[in-house]
Amino acid sequence: MKFTVIVTSLLILTACSDGKGIASVDGETITQEMFSAYLEEKRIPDTNQKRVESALDMYLEREALTQAIEDSEKLDMQGIEAELNELKKQMTISRYFDQYLKSAVNEEAIRNFYSENSENYQVTRAQVAHILLRTRKTMDESEIGAVRTRAQEIQSKATSDGNFAELAKAHSEDKISAAKGGDLGWLNEGAVAPEFSKVAFTLKEGEVSQVIQTPFGFHIIKSIAAPQTVQKSFESVKGDIRYQLKSEAKKAELERLLSTVEIEKFNG
């Protein structure tokens, strides 16, 4: 079968959309609306006449080729239609929620949520130093006991003469903090090993702990600044809030949409 392409007028391309045909592919009308949607999808401005004319030629050629291949009956068109239908559903759902969530979860909504739930965006922190004597899985009980005894001797010195920084530099096997006198800086509660955090956040300023054991070894902890609760800044948490609000808004809108449509499965 011979396929023909008839273009009625390029002047229509920049005219207002009126539903009239701008071309015909083997008798099938191509409307301005159809071609305008194509231009928008390809991000081709309708003010660029040269690109518009080239785009129209390509659009019509592909329409003609598709029609010719469909009529040849050499492809499983039912399978292609099923695939296209799934793609359409995926794109429809995705683009709808992109648009919906953009308006539902804006900067104002995020700021309001932060203000109304400010207590949830607080953190307790403390500045501490430590001396670490490491243990390893390959150590037997006697070897671990020897490390514990050494840690207890260092702890005794730390509480008697108070020169914690020098002891850390001389004995701590955490070389990074040892170079700073054992100072670990500000730690958020719960951000370190539970055994360490439990003790570190009960110490008074300047107080030195007993020897404690964690999976890393034996520690002696000194409080440099007592625990304090501080408010996290809006900028530091707005990403998390946005994610939370979008998840909640999407779930609610999904349920609302599904409630408007009846689903029925037939047996057999």
Span 147-185, pLDDT tens digits: 999 999 999 999 987 799 999 999 999 999 999 999 999
Domain made up of 123-230: CATH architecture: Roll (3.10)
pLDDT value, residue 4? 58
Exposed (0-12), middle (13-18) or buried (19+): which is 26, by Cβ within 10 Å?
A: middle
Q: Which residues pair with 222 in a beta bridge?
A: 129, 208
Render the burial of 5-19: b for 16+ CB within 10 Å, e for the rest. eebeeeebbeeeeee
pTM, rounded to two decimals: 0.61
The ranges assigned to domains in the chain are 1-73, 75-104, 123-230
Can you tell me the distance from the alpha carbon of 25 to that of 3, in angstroms, rounded to the nearest whole number? 7
Q: So what's the pLDDT on residue 5?
A: 55
247 vs 101: CA distance, rounded Å = 9
Q: What is the pLDDT of residues 25-61, one digit of tens each?
A: 988 899 999 999 999 999 999 899 999 999 999 999 9
What percent of the chain stands above pLDDT 70? Answer: 92
Angle, nearest 10°, between helix axes 107-116 and 234-259?
110
For the chain, give the mean pLDDT: 90
What pLDDT, on a 0 to 100 scale, did the predictor assign at position 117?
96
Of 19-23, 39-43, 127-131, 171-175, minimum mean pLDDT range: 19-23
Distance CA 36, CA 33 (A): 5
Q: Distance of CA 118 to CAs 114, 122, 140, Å? A: 5, 7, 49
- Per the rule left: phi > 0, alpha: psi between -120 and 50, beta: everything else, 155 is alpha
Instruction: Name the burial class of residue 260, with classes exposed (0-12), middle (13-18) and buried (19+) by CB atoms within 10 angstroms of its CB.
Output: exposed
Predicted local confidence at residue 18, as pLDDT: 52
